[in-house]
Amino acid sequence: MSAKDDKMNKFISAIFSLTSAIKCESEHCCKICGAINEKELMIVAFVGDNKSVKMSEIADYLKAPLSTLTSIADKLVANKFLVRHNSDEDRRVVKVALGEKGLESYKAFLTRKKSMTKKVLSHFSEEEHNTLINHINKLAAAIVS
């Protein structure tokens, strides 16, 4: 095996390890946030970050069809994670905001996110933090390009 092949194999192995760790963290977050699935958690987090949003904004953020998100939102509304309301600017526009359970889930998510961030960053020096963040962003951009 060439040095180049060895480096590629180590890279793939590292990516799979990282993906597995992220998946485990995501599953744990879903459990502590009310036994919701990953897409539902992403919606709750997006709505929590933005307070009141149109469904089309969620669809753009998740790069998912509006029809798919509507059925997920219906379930989240039925389970009191989200509430629907009409826009103050245009009564024809329906927006969603966090419901009672959604607010609890969002708070649990923020607490876990902060804890996980501290844990990860504790493995790096202050000087390495920006480099790490820049490399993660470069990696993500390279994967989707």
- Indicate whether 122 pLDDT > 90: yes
- The tokens for 120 are 């990860």
Report the mean per-residue pLDDT for the chain: 91
Q: What is the CATH number of the domain that holds 46?
A: 1.10.10.10
Q: What pLDDT does residue 45 have?
A: 96
38 neighbors 30 (Cβ within 8 angstroms): yes
- pLDDT tier, 3 (very low <50, low <70, confident <90, very high otherwise): confident
**Percent of the chain scoring above 70 in pLDDT:** 100
Q: What pLDDT does residue 142 have?
A: 93
- pLDDT tier, 145 (very low <50, low <70, confident <90, very high otherwise): confident
Q: What pLDDT does residue 4 have?
A: 84
Q: What pLDDT does residue 87 have?
A: 74
Whole-structure pTM value: 0.83
> Residue 110 and residue 143: Cα distance in Å, rounded?
27
Q: What pLDDT does residue 61 have?
A: 92
Residues 35, 38, 43, 47: what is their CA dihedral angle, to the nearest 10 degrees? 70
Structural domains counted in the chain:
1
29-83 per-position pLDDT tens digit = 999 988 899 999 999 999 999 999 998 899 999 988 988 888 999 999 999 999 9
- The tokens for 3 are 């040095």
Q: Which domain holds residue 127?
A: 3-144
